[in-house]
Amino acid sequence: MASTDKASPRDRLLDAAARLTYRDGVSVGIEALCREAGVSKRSMYQLFDGKDGMLAASLERRIPRYESQFAHPDPERATPRERVLYVFERLEQASADAGYRGCPYLAVLVELKNAEHPASLVARSVKERLAATFRAEAERGGARDPDLLARQLLLVFDGAGARAGAGVERLDDGLATATVTALLDAAGMD
CATH topology of domain 69-186: Tetracycline Repressor; domain 2 (1.10.357)
Choosing among 2.30.110, 1.10.10, 3.40.1760, 1.10.3470, the CATH entry for 9-60 is 1.10.10
Residue 144, class by beta-carbon neighbours within 10 Å (0-12 exposed, 13-18 middle, 19+ buried)?
A: exposed
- Domain(s) labelled CATH 1.10.10 in the chain stretch across 9-60
Write the CB contacts of 166 (distance below 8 Å, at least 6 apart in sequence): 102
Whole-prediction pTM value?
0.92
- Domain(s) labelled CATH 1.10.357.10 in the chain stretch across 69-186
The rounded Cα 5 to chain-centroid distance in angstroms is 26
d(CA 131, CA 151): 7
DSSP H helices, the chain, are 9-24, 30-37, 41-47, 51-68, 80-95, 104-112, 118-140, 146-165, 175-186
C-alpha distances (whole Å) from 99 to each of 59, 102, 189 are: 18, 9, 34
d(CA 48, CA 57): 9
Q: List the chain pLDDT tens, one digit each, 190 residues.
A: 444 557 899 999 999 999 999 999 999 999 999 999 999 999 999 999 999 999 999 999 999 999 999 999 999 999 999 999 999 999 999 999 999 999 999 999 999 999 999 999 999 999 999 999 999 999 999 999 999 999 999 999 999 999 999 999 989 899 999 999 999 999 999 8
d(CA 85, CA 185): 12
